[in-house]
């Protein structure tokens, strides 16, 4: 490189933080690394603006979702927003656990489920997210059994926390839950203390032993991990990866640490500010070391090479129905968001309505962009199916997006004329893409949380700070 082109100062600053310095035409990193850093910064900036624009929802006065369309497959998502304690980095709809509220909530969840059944929906997969769905395992079991009675459910995925990996809970889930996703985040005791998780769920050593004991009881155990904590070093990250492999977990999800304005105060106070400049190197370590035992199934999800996987619901199914407070539905190009208020949810469901509070209809191009993003996050794009569904070739309808991806060298040489595959060394592009998408969703959640009544906002307490 004989000369340095004119680059915006903010980009140069980011390059410097990332370890790139121009010295006599040389850089500390390769040109490929340089291109990736510049590209991801551009991608993040664009997606940050676009996502927030797309998620500008309007209030909805809708009693029920539209019915299913013939020939389409859907997944059912059920949200359980209660936790025994709240983590500082979490932006999901969640409330401090109160047993009477939680039992009432599960009854309402089943009522809303029956409304969905009356609409004519059938589902092969059911996903319970939270919050902590296993917080009242007897209520959860009753809800799963009802879902299997009402719909053609073949696979059930459910989230939980390490303290619920007990024989009593696991035995009740046996035969009901196919994939149990455990929120571990890290095995490092210093990090666990910073997140106030060690007092809640035990030491890293204790969590590891619980995982080892749980493996084999259910068909699949997934471990949710986070990388790029402010005080996380490469050594800590490598040790987390080693212990994850040692646990015997069938699947691993390694998310980048994601912040949002509503939790920034609590997160900064607890664990410090996020440094995104380290993220590419940390992701490379995760990808390389996990890749020795697991195969990538999405940009941040890995499965052991000898098993199949129940994938994340928004990737495996483009369209999904959400039930419960704070759930999302995506149907026929429209997004529907359920109320975040527990009292409003109770009132709406008991009046025979679903909990829908807001909606947005996306234009055709926006629908194509959503398909593009979700499929590539799954590391491949079916061009033939894209053309069939939208009556346009992806190269023509999304030529700017395709040009960017090709300039970034995103597509693997194993791609065919009908199937695009993401190159193994360009998976980080998809991580950035989804990180910014979820950041936009988190802002939407913040807006919904701000509208809560004071008594409900007090149930969102983290580190003595009311999340607003």
Q: What is the pLDDT of residues 416-463, one digit of tens each?
A: 999 999 999 899 999 998 888 887 777 777 766 666 777 776 566 554
Number of separate domains in the chain: 2
Predicted confidence at residue 315, as pLDDT, reads: 59
Predicted confidence at residue 307, as pLDDT, reads: 65
Burial 164-198 (b: 16+ CB within 10 A, else e): bbeeebbebbeebbbbbbbbbbbbbeebbebbbbb
The residue whose two tokens read 């026929």 is: 332
274 and 397 inside one domain: no
Question: Would you say residue 352 lies in a domain?
Answer: no
Question: Would you say residue 272 lies in a domain?
Answer: yes
Question: Would you say residue 211 lies in a domain?
Answer: yes
Give me Rg for the CA atoms of the chain. Answer: 22
392 and 289 inside one domain: no
What domain range is 386 assigned to? 29-58+364-443
pTM greater than the 0.75 cutoff: yes
120 and 263 inside one domain: yes
Question: Would you say residue 238 lies in a domain?
Answer: yes
198 and 54 inside one domain: no
Query: What are the residue ranges in the chain where pLDDT is below 50?
Result: 1-9, 11-12, 15-28, 463-468
236 and 132 inside one domain: yes
Predicted confidence at residue 457, as pLDDT, reads: 63
Q: What is the pLDDT of residues 179-219, one digit of tens each?
A: 999 999 999 999 999 888 898 899 999 999 999 999 999 99
101 and 246 inside one domain: yes
178 and 80 inside one domain: yes
54 and 103 inside one domain: no
Q: How far apart are CA 220 and CA 158, in angstroms?
A: 11
Burial 101-132 (b: 16+ CB within 10 A, else e): bbeebbebbbebbebbbeeebebebbbbbbbb
With CA atoms as reference, report the closest residue to 240 among 206, 177, 189, 277. Answer: 189
Question: Would you say residue 177 lies in a domain?
Answer: yes
Which CATH number do you get for residue 233? 3.80.30.20
Q: How far apart are CA 311 and CA 155, in angstroms?
A: 10
Which CATH number do you get for residue 372? 1.10.10
Q: How far apart are CA 303 and CA 180, in angstroms?
A: 13
205 and 136 inside one domain: yes
Predicted confidence at residue 314, as pLDDT, reads: 56
CA dist 271 → 175, 257, 265, 274, 335 (Å): 39, 11, 10, 9, 34
161 and 255 inside one domain: yes
Q: How far apart are CA 257 and CA 435, in angstroms?
A: 9
Predicted confidence at residue 4, as pLDDT, reads: 34
Question: Would you say residue 5 lies in a domain?
Answer: no
């Amino acid at each position: 490189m004989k000369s340095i082109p004119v680059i915006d100062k903010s980009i140069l600053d980011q390059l410097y933080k990332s370890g790139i310095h121009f010295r006599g035409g040389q850089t500390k990193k390769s040109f490929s690394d340089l291109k990736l850093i510049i590209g991801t910064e551009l991608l993040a900036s664009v997606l940050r603006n676009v996502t927030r624009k797309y998620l500008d929802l309007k209030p909805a006065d809708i009693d029920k979702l539209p019915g299913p369309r013939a020939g389409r497959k859907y997944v059912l998502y059920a949200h359980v927003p209660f936790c025994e304690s709240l983590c500082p980095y979490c932006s999901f709809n969640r409330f401090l656990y109160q047993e009477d509220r939680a039992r009432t909530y599960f009854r309402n969840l089943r009522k809303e489920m029956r409304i969905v059944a009356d609409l004519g929906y059938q589902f092969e997969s059911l996903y319970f997210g939270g919050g902590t769905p296993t917080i009242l395992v007897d209520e959860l079991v009753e809800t799963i059994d009802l879902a299997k009675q009402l719909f053609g459910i073949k696979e059930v995925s459910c989230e939980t926390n390490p303290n619920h990996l007990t024989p009593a809970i696991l035995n009740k889930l046996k035969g009901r839950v196919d994939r149990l996703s455990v929120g571990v985040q890290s095995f490092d005791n210093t990090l666990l203390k910073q997140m106030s998780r060690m007092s809640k769920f035990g030491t890293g050593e204790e969590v590891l032993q619980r995982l080892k004991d749980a493996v084999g009881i259910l068909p699949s155990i997934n471990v949710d991990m986070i990388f790029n904590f402010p005080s996380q070093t490469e050594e800590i990250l490598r040790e987390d990866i080693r212990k994850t492999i040692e646990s015997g977990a069938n699947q691993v999800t390694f998310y980048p640490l994601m912040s949002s304005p509503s939790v920034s105060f609590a997160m900064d106070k607890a664990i410090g500010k996020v440094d995104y400049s380290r993220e590419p190197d940390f992701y490379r370590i995760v990808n390389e070391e996990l890749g020795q035992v697991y195969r990538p199934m999405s940009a941040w999800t890995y499965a052991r090479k000898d098993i199949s996987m129940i994938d994340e619901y928004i990737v495996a199914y483009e369209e999904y129905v959400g039930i419960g407070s704070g759930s999302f539905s995506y149907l026929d190009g429209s997004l529907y968001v359920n109320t975040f208020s527990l009292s409003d949810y109770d009132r709406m469901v008991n009046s025979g309505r679903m909990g829908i509070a807001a909606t947005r209809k996306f234009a055709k191009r926006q629908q194509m962009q959503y398909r593009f993003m979700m499929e590539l996050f799954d590391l491949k794009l079916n061009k033939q199916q894209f053309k069939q569904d939208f009556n346009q070739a992806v190269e023509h309808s999304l030529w700017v997006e395709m040009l960017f991806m090709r300039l970034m060298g995103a597509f693997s040489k194993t791609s065919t004329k009908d199937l695009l595959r993401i190159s193994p060394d360009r998976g980080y592009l998809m991580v950035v893409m989804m990180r910014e998408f979820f950041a936009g969703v988190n802002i939407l959640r913040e807006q919904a949380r701000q509208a809560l009544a004071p008594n409900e906002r007090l149930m969102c307490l983290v580190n003595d700070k009311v999340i607003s």
